């Protein structure tokens, strides 16, 4: 039951914030500072998420095979590889490093 409560609360709250963003009046968004901020916030959030999912194990910071995988993804991106290949590189290298014993 607890799990269903968590799912319900998460589903409703996550939908609400998605909708809220779309419903903010257009006038607010015409202000240059708001425009600039709205463009930069995703950069900050994605950067923080990428770093956390690469180096976090629960609430501890670790350096493991994921770092090698994400580094491989970065190289693939630099070489302008298609999206699917970038993700595949990360998964394959991570699995490879773990298989070797990293």
Partner 1 sequence: MAEQTALTDIRPEGRPDAAVVRDALGVGVAVGLSGFAFGVTSAGSGLTLWQTCALSLLVFTGASQFALVGALAAGGNPFTAAAGAFFLGVRNAFYGLRLSQLLALPRAVRPFAAQWVIDETAAVALAQPTRRSVRIGFAVTGLSLYVLWNLTTLLGALGAEAIGDTAAWGLDAAGPAVFLALLAPMLRGGTERAVAGLAVLLGLGLLPVLPAGLPVLVAALAAPVVLWVRGRREGPEGER
Site for partner 1 in 10-69 (CB under 8 A): 10-11, 13-15, 17-24, 26, 29-30, 32-34, 36-56, 58-61, 65-66, 69
Minimum CB distance to partner 1, residue 77 (Å)? 5
What the block records as the tokens of 48 is 């923080």
Do 90 and 69 contact (CB within 8 A), yes or no?
yes
Residue 7 binding partner 1, by CB under 8 A: yes
What the block records as the tokens of 65 is 């095979």
Minimum CB distance to partner 1, residue 4 (Å)? 7
Q: Where are the alpha helices (DSSP H) in 56-82?
A: 65-78
Minimum CB distance to partner 1, residue 40 (Å)? 4
Binding to partner 1 (CB under 8 A) within 66-85 occurs at 66, 69-70, 73-74, 77, 82-84
Closest by CA position to 72, among listed 56, 53, 52, 96 = 96
The site for partner 1, by CB under 8 A, has a size of 73
What the block records as the tokens of 80 is 């302008």
């Amino acid at each position: 039951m607890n799990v269903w409560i968590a799912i319900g609360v998460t589903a409703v709250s996550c939908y609400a914030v998605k909708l809220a963003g779309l419903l903010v009046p257009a006038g607010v968004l015409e202000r240059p500072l708001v425009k600039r901020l709205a463009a930069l916030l995703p950069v900050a959030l994605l950067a923080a998420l990428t770093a956390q999912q690469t180096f976090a194990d629960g609430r501890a910071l670790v350096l493991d095979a994921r770092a090698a995988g994400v580094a491989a993804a970065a190289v693939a991106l630099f070489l302008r590889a298609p999206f699917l290949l970038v993700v595949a590189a990360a998964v394959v290298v991570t699995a490879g490093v773990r298989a070797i014993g990293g």
